[in-house]
Amino acid sequence: MTYAGESDESLMERYARGEAAAFEALYRRHEMRTWRYLERNSGNRATADELMQEVWFAVARDAPRYEPTARFTTWLFTIAHNRLIDSIRANRRHLSLDTVGYEAEPVIGQLTTDPSVGPLAAVCARDRATALKHAVGQLPREQREAFLLQVEGDLSVEEIAAATNSSFETTKSRLRYARSKLRELLNEYA
Amino acid sequence: MSEIPPGKDHSDIVDATYRQASALDPSRPSESVRRNVLAHAEQLARSYAGEVAAVASSDGTRRRSQHSWWRRPAVFGTLIAAAVAGIWVAPQIFLSHGRGTPNSTLVTSASRPEAESLPAPPPSPSMPLTATPAAPAAPTRMASPQAALAPTAPAPAAPAPATPAPATPAATPSTTAGETLSYQEPRESMANAAQGHTETSTSDTQPSAKVAKKSADAAEAEDKARTPSALSAGAALQARAFASASRAATRASPNTAQQPTPTPSDAVSTLWRAATTGDVQALQTSIAARVDVNARDAEGRTALMLATLHGQMVAVNVLLEHGADPNLADSQGITPLQAAVNAAQPAIAAALQRAGAR
């Protein structure tokens, strides 16, 4: 059965009635966004895998209690945010991007490399992605979290504020400062 | 960090750059994560499906039970009604068959004139009771069917000669030292009427007569068991004759059942009817007339049970206030509380529980 035209909320209701295929469709629809959010916030693939599993286990477990009062993605990324915070508070073994200390200068240099020139295009593309992750890693944790929730989770400022338990103005400031930081690096190495 | 936050255009450029780079990111969650997540989700889905099916089936069961809660009592009620109807109708068929025989017709028609000439009670009920030898009277009545039929006439209204009235078989056994009464209250005459009809039937030796005699004998046995032997002769006789008359009025053949005089069974019937219809005024009148509030009908149901079955909350309260026993079960063993629960009458059930119903 195909679920291409069905909303996330409808798929959740189907799964809550025991339709496993609906959950699989939902998972595949949001897998990469969730993964990127977790991986770029945690800075560690193993931690991201662990958190990814926990998040989707929680989604499956709480499906019968899910009420579509808000968008599914808001609910999903709120769970992901909470798992991430729990992970940080539990002082698990992970590589925090705050403590890694990526070098901004080479990252931005890779971002400005033209991938369409020559046989190194594929390598450049991979490098650009890596540079992006490094650039995001340069951001303070709160700013990075807010930025990733918006660009990966497609959450509004209000939704981010609610998910991170912050005020609207604080969230808005975090988003602005996050983008300002990234823009500075881009302009500097463009 | 910039002091001035970027504008919308800069935000768009940053976001577009991020998304472009993200699309090129080859990193993905490990395959084991996907496997684990989907396997876990499938396992939970099975349990969810089971829960949904269980809820659906329980809903269906509850719906069915809600729709059919009345069926069992209805079936029992129908069976009971059929049984009662059979018990009442069968003897009447026998009796009517018996009346249709020439012997019975002859005896009855022959007895009519004599009945009018037979002695009746004196007009004044305040006349003192005097004991007279009863031994000669009883054999005479038993020997002569015509004489035995005499009380079938409306004796209370007839003028009373001074001759002693025959003692009833019910009175004779408990009369001490062979004494009997020379005066009978109108109720006693009624008892004699019923008894006399029974004896007449006995003399006919027909099947219906046997049934009627058995009923009369049973009534007598009950009277004997209920009346203490230490009672004075007059009081015991009056009470016994009263009870005998009431039972005879309900059990005897149509000839005697047509007595217009109100009987205690009428008062009890009024009580039951008032409890059924919720007629509080009639209920209180019946109770004021000292009718036994715990009297049972043919199915063993008390007035409280009838009021409960018909959802008459006020009647239930009145009966409970006047000492109705909330734990008297009917012939099926169903208590008023069970009936209230079965009839979905929570307020009545609560009132019964407050009154000590179990």
Encode pLDDT of A16-36 as tens digits: 989 999 999 999 999 999 999
The partner residue sitting opposite B6, judged by closest CB among A49, A111, A183, is: A183
Encode pLDDT of B321-346 as tens digits: 888 989 888 888 888 888 888 877 88
| pLDDT of amino acid B357 | 84
- Residue among B175, B169, B172 nearest B231 (CA): B175
pLDDT: which is higher, B188 or A174 = A174
Encode pLDDT of A98-131 as tens digits: 544 433 334 444 444 444 445 556 566 666 667 7
Q: How far apart are the first and last CA of chain A?
A: 48
- CA Rg value for chain B: 39
Q: What rounded mean pLDDT belongs to chain B?
A: 63
Query: Is pTM beyond 0.90 here?
Result: no
- Residue among B299, B300, B347, B343 nearest B325 (CA): B300
Give me the total of CB pairs closer than 8 Å, taking one residue from chain A and one from chain B.
130
- Report chain B residues whose CB lies below 8 A from the CB of A52: 29, 33, 37
- Report chain A residues whose CB lies below 8 A from the CB of B13: 183, 186
pLDDT: which is higher, A63 or A3 = A63
State what percent of residues in chain A have pLDDT above 90. Answer: 46
* Tokens representing residue B319 in the block: 């009966």
- Report chain B residues whose CB lies below 8 A from the CB of A49: 29-30, 32-33
pLDDT: which is higher, B308 or B96 = B308
State what percent of residues in chain B have pLDDT above 90. Answer: 4
The partner residue sitting opposite A132, judged by closest CB among B2, B22, B32, is: B22
| pLDDT of amino acid A121 | 60
Asked if residue B146 has pLDDT above 80, the reply is no
User: Which of B10, B19, B35, B36 is the best mutation test for A, with the most CBs of A within 10 A?
Assistant: B10
Lowest mean pLDDT among A14-28, B45-59, B105-119, B332-346: B105-119
pLDDT: which is higher, A11 or B91 = A11
| pLDDT of amino acid B60 | 61
Q: What is the 3-state secondary structure (H, E, C) of chain B?
A: CCCCCCCHHHHHHHHHHHHHHHHCCCCCCCHHHHHHHHHHHHHHHHHHHHHHHHHHHHHHHHHHHHHHCCHHHHHHHHHHHHHHHHHHHHHHHHHHHHHCCHHHHHHHHHHHHHHHHCCCCCCCCCCCCCEEECCCHHHHHHHCHHHHHHHHCCHHHCCCCCCCCCCCCCHHHHCHHHEEECCCCHHHHHHHHHHHHHHHHHHHCCHHHHHHHHHHHHHHHHHHHHCCCCCCHHHHHHHHHHHHHHHHHHHCCHHHHCCCCCCHHHHHHHHHHHHHHCCHHHHHHHHHCCCCCCCCCCCCCCHHHHHHHCCCHHHHHHHHHCCCCCCCCCCCCCCHHHHHHHCCCHHHHHHHHHCCCC
Q: How far is B66 from chain A (nearest CA, A)?
A: 26
| Torsion angle of C-alpha atoms A79, A84, A88, A93, degrees rounded to 10 | 130
The partner residue sitting opposite A39, judged by closest CB among B26, B27, B52, is: B27
User: Which of B8, B19, B25 is the best mutation test for A, with the most CBs of A within 10 A?
Assistant: B25
Tell me which range, B26-35, B87-96, B146-155, is most confidently predicted by mean pLDDT: B26-35
Asked if residue A9 has pLDDT above 50, the reply is yes
Asked if residue B299 has pLDDT above 50, the reply is yes
User: Which of B33, B42, B52, B55 is the best mutation test for A, with the most CBs of A within 10 A?
Assistant: B33
Mean pLDDT within A154-171: 92
Q: How far is B353 from chain A (nearest CA, A)?
A: 40
Q: Do A183 and B13 touch (CB under 8 A)?
A: yes
Asked if residue B121 has pLDDT above 80, the reply is no
Mean pLDDT within A175-186: 84
Encode pLDDT of A131-146 as tens digits: 777 788 888 999 999 9
> Cα A37 vs. chain centroid, distance in angstroms?
2
The nearest alpha carbon in chain A to B25 belongs to A129
The nearest alpha carbon in chain A to B52 belongs to A17
| pLDDT of amino acid A138 | 82
Which pLDDT band holds residue B34 (cuts at 50, 70, 90)? very high
The nearest alpha carbon in chain B to A15 belongs to B45
Asked if residue A179 has pLDDT above 50, the reply is yes
Lowest mean pLDDT among B59-73, B78-92, B206-220: B206-220
- Report chain A residues whose CB lies below 8 A from the CB of B55: none
**Helix A121-137 and helix A168-189: axis angle, to 10°?**
140
Q: Do B26 and A129 touch (CB under 8 A)?
A: yes
Asked if residue B39 has pLDDT above 90, the reply is yes
| pLDDT of amino acid B33 | 92
Q: Do B1 and A177 touch (CB under 8 A)?
A: yes
| pLDDT of amino acid A186 | 62
Asked if residue A159 has pLDDT above 60, the reply is yes
Q: Do B41 and A183 touch (CB under 8 A)?
A: no
CA separation (Å) from B344 to A27, B339, B356?
50, 8, 19
Encode pLDDT of B194-235 as tens digits: 444 434 333 443 444 444 445 445 445 444 444 444 344 444
**Half-sphere exposure at residue B6, Cβ-oriented, CA atoms within 13 angstroms:** 23
- CA Rg value for chain A: 18
Locate tokens 């068959």: which residue?
Answer: B97
- Report chain A residues whose CB lies below 8 A from the CB of B51: 18, 64
| pLDDT of amino acid B233 | 43
Encode pLDDT of B308-324 as tens digits: 888 888 899 889 988 89
| pLDDT of amino acid A123 | 62
Q: Which amino acid, one-letter code, is at B6?
A: P
Lowest mean pLDDT among B2-6, B167-171, B238-242: B167-171
